[in-house]
Structure 1
Amino acid sequence: MSVFVSAAELNERIQTGQKQTIIAALWEPEEGKAWAKFQSEHIPTALYCDPSVQLAGMPGRSVGRNPMPSISTVRKAAAGWGVEEGRPVYVYDGGNGLFAARAWWILRWAGVSDVHILDGGFAAWDGEGLPTVAGPGGVIVPREVELSEGHLPAASMEDVRAFEGLLIDARGARRFEGRREILDLRAGHIPGAQNLPVYELFDEQTHKVKDSDTVRDRFAQLGITHNTDPAGAITYSGSGNHSALLLAALEHVDLPLLTHYVGGWSQWSGNRDNPVATHI
């Protein structure tokens, strides 16, 4: 099954009583608002995920805004969601795909192989008039899950400093060029990086992934093909969310999963010793 699944596909699984774990990775800048939204309306059997706590470590200038979580954090979260071998996982967010993609990548990195993203997120589900429920979420028996780090390639800031291959920045063009920066300490990009704004791979209105040929063609413009060595290219974004979505699109069209620099621009720009490039 593809990385991105439609609302109709997921609803069919739920209505026919198939076993799966559904995770709602929701985030709002106002504390408690995402949890309140989940409680008021969510996909049947879904369980709540707080990306800032369960999918990231403690932020800081030296590590970035959303650094990698510890494997123990992921184990605890996955156990609470009832993740287990042989049981597919479906993740969704409000609709833009960023937090669902982060959950997808983190779980895959930790060794959960069967993970999928709801294409278009809850907005797509709601837009099709599919059933929702209120309350704290599905009842689950916490499980012991065997997870370990490193099942997907990841790069540190030191790795990026020494890297001489293809470096892809998944942020929007204005942030890449250094014309706009409201989140991180400096504006611009890592010298030598090429820009592929991840939302070029998704429909502007629905946030659903574009057709496979269009996605493959866009990657091909940067030289990413079926023969690309995952170690020969690194992707990053501000703090690992946009780049996770780019990686999900890559796997969706059967292209190699590239190495992920999760610390991203937020970590790189926080270190004054790191050079910065702009296109102003």
Structure 2
Amino acid sequence: MNFIVTVKKLTEYLNNNSDVAIVDVRYQLDDPSAGKKAYEKAHIPQAIYFDLEGDLSDIPRKHGGNHPLPNANVLAEKLGEAGIDKDTTVVVYDKGNDMFAPRFWWLLRFLGHEDVYILDGGYEAWIKAGQPVTAEISTKVSKKFQPNVQSNEIVDIHRIKENIINKEAILIDSRSSERYLGISEPLYTKAGHIPGAKNYFWMEVLDENGRWKSKEELEKQFSKLNKEQEIIVSCGSGVSATPNIIALKMIGFKNVKLYPGSYSDWISYENNPVETKDETND
């Protein structure tokens, strides 16, 4: 399966007046308002903006991680207001190939909508190809988006604890090796990773030009993993795990789940242990 579309493909959608919704999710973790400002300045024609924290995450609490999943019904209502229903093809983009478009992609799939794709190279690729942009905010005819939550696509902290003991699933940590090994930790009070996690940095699903790798390259990258085994993907807070989920599904992994709270949820419980040794090849 392929979940990535090119600039050329998106222009074909637009030229054919297909029932396609374009979603802009540009965002900066260090400047939360920057993405919305960039959208208001210029965006792909017809694009609607969704915000990581305002739309694609719930409010953080003591436990549950820094970017909890949004309420399904609230997100469904926003999708409907954006003109998206079960028959809509959705193409989502961020600045380049960042982690925010995959988060939106995953959320739509989680709500049961499979006709969703990521624009390879994002807004930067669109600009580089000489395609038009606009500051005009599109008004959409509201539709009814009916969520069909795929609860089997996620696991909670109890499943993670069980897995440390029984090792039935492979747990992936999608953060950089420096954070995985506890060498640096810019966001959280405790450095390291969940015991037993294997490190597959999410940016390695991209090639040297920042575009998505081919299926052949991804097969090689994840060759040590068993396609028949359950794979649980984590990161810091359930955002950068999603590119790895997409990559694994693209090459035929069927049983791939997200731990939404990820490391930030794990360390919110003081007694949970963390590891700093490399367990990727164990």
TM-score, with normalisation over the residues of structure 2? Answer: 0.92
Deviation of 1:73 after TM superposition, in Å, equals 2.1
Deviation of 1:183 after TM superposition, in Å, equals 0.9
Deviation of 1:152 after TM superposition, in Å, equals 5.3
Q: Which amino acid aligns with 1:103?
A: F
Match of 1:214 in 2: 217
Cα distance change of structure 1 residues 69 and 34 upon mapping to structure 2, 3 Å threshold: same
> Is this contact kept in 2: 1:4–1:252, CA < 8 A?
no
Q: Given the alignment of the two structures, is residue 101 of structure 1 paired with residue 102 of structure 2, yes or no?
A: yes
Equivalent residue runs for 1:81-100 within 5 Å: 81-100=82-101
Q: SS of 2:36's equivalent?
A: helix
How far apart in 2 are the matches of 1:77 and 1:275? 38
Cα distance change of structure 1 residues 37 and 132 upon mapping to structure 2, 3 Å threshold: same
Match of 1:158 in 2: 158
Equivalent residue runs for 1:170-189 within 5 Å: 170-189=174-193
> Is this contact kept in 1: 2:206–2:213, CA < 8 A?
yes
Match of 1:254 in 2: 252
Cα distance change of structure 1 residues 152 and 41 upon mapping to structure 2, 3 Å threshold: farther
> Is this contact kept in 2: 1:188–1:276, CA < 8 A?
yes
Q: Mean alpha-carbon deviation: is it higher for 264-273 or for 23-32?
A: 23-32
How far apart in 2 are the matches of 1:262 and 1:31? 20
Match of 2:232 in 1: 234
Q: CA RMSD in A?
A: 1.6
| Of 196, 204, 207, the match for 1:203 | 207
Q: SS of 1:215's equivalent?
A: helix
How far apart in 2 are the matches of 1:111 and 1:151? 10
Runs in 1 of length 4+ with deviation above 4 angstroms?
A: none
| Of 224, 227, 238, the match for 2:226 | 224
Q: Which amino acid aligns with 1:244?
A: T
Cα distance change of structure 1 residues 198 and 32 upon mapping to structure 2, 3 Å threshold: closer
Task: State the aligned residue count.
Answer: 273
Match of 1:7 in 2: 7
Q: Given the alignment of the two structures, is residue 169 of structure 1 paired with residue 173 of structure 2, yes or no?
A: yes
> Is this contact kept in 2: 1:185–1:266, CA < 8 A?
no
Q: Mean alpha-carbon deviation: is it higher for 111-120 or for 250-259?
A: 250-259
How far apart in 2 are the matches of 1:161 and 1:73? 30
Deviations 1:156-202 (A, max 9, x none): 11111112221111111111011010112211000011111111120
Cα distance change of structure 1 residues 132 and 151 upon mapping to structure 2, 3 Å threshold: farther
Q: SS of 1:54's equivalent?
A: coil
Q: SS of 1:91's equivalent?
A: strand
Unaligned 5+ runs, structure 1 = none
Q: Mean alpha-carbon deviation: is it higher for 251-260 or for 190-199?
A: 251-260
How many percent identity over aligned positions? Answer: 29
Equivalent residue runs for 1:112-127 within 5 Å: 112-127=113-128
How far apart in 2 are the matches of 1:75 and 1:17? 24
> Is this contact kept in 2: 1:184–1:265, CA < 8 A?
no
Q: Mean alpha-carbon deviation: is it higher for 29-38 or for 4-13?
A: 29-38
How far apart in 1 are the matches of 2:212 and 2:226? 18
Q: Which amino acid aligns with 1:259?
A: K
TM-score, with normalisation over the residues of structure 1? Answer: 0.92
> Is this contact kept in 2: 1:247–1:257, CA < 8 A?
no
> Is this contact kept in 2: 1:61–1:271, CA < 8 A?
no
Deviation of 1:135 after TM superposition, in Å, equals 2.3
Match of 1:33 in 2: 34
Deviation of 1:94 after TM superposition, in Å, equals 0.9
Match of 1:278 in 2: 276
